[in-house]
Structure 1
């Protein structure tokens, strides 16, 4: 039993020094559930999510908005991915307005849901 004591001490020392090094190292990852900026808002998948958001809003609100562009966006990893997008759209009069849309997507289930669509005040 005595020979195990030095081995346990060495093992414990290694674990403590490793955990201290990890705790003091800057994290390159966002906290789970945090929002991460979308670098390329022209990405075809981001555009597809934006088109879905506008179409779903039009259906729910009996509106006729048309997507002009994705101004900016962020993603959040949840049970799937949330996309929070600022969209520039044209309304029925042709005026350009901005909305913030949140879409929840689970591609492995072929699932998308518009969870929020709000006017962005200028």
Structure 2
């Protein structure tokens, strides 16, 4: 029983640590400058578009869906050993309707890779 208790505590600790590490809080849209997020000035910037497209492509692969990336509506970035992208993107689904989705992607330049952390929606 003691072992199960330690595993539970460890799991809770890891979950909380990951939550704080990636600052995954989509509920709070009224972010202040103190939280480290910087608004993206140009959502059509090629780098931002490539991150949005990566998010949709990866989500499609993981969820066996067929969304088609359209554009980045708006977003924020945060530097944290890489760049975190908190994006609202527009994508079309099977009925060709444009809908918004919220995604969090981490750019790890030292590994030359993106990581999809979260993909939610439509919102």
Q: Deviations over 1:39-70 (max 9, x none)?
A: 01110000000110000000000000001111
**Which residue in the other structure is 1:46 paired with?**
48
2:17 corresponds to which residue? none
Q: Please tell me the root mean square deviation across aligned C-alpha atoms, in Å.
A: 1.2
**Structure 2 counterpart of 1:64:** 66
Offset of residue 108 of structure 1: 2.4
Q: What SS class does the counterpart of residue 60 from structure 1 fall into?
A: helix
- Note the alpha carbon deviations across 1:8-57, whole angstroms, 9 max, x for none: xxxxxxxxxxxxxxxxxxxxxx54x6110000111000000011000000
Moved over 6 A (4+): none
Which residue matches 2:30? none
Corresponding residue for residue 36 of structure 2: 34
Query: Partners of 1:65 and 1:107 in 2: how far apart?
Result: 26
- Equivalent-residue separation in structure 2 for 1:38 and 1:101 (angstroms): 14
State the shift of 1:111 in Å.
2.0
Q: Distance in 1 between matches of 2:49 and 2:110?
A: 19
Structure 2 Cα separation of the partners of residues 120 and 38 of structure 1: 21
Q: Deviations over 1:80-104 (max 9, x none)?
A: 1100110010001111111001000
Matched residue, 1:112: 114
CA distance in 2, matches of 1:86, 1:100: 4
Partner of 1:100: 102
Residue in structure 1 matched with residue 26 of structure 2 by the alignment = none
Secondary structure at the residue paired with 1:64? coil
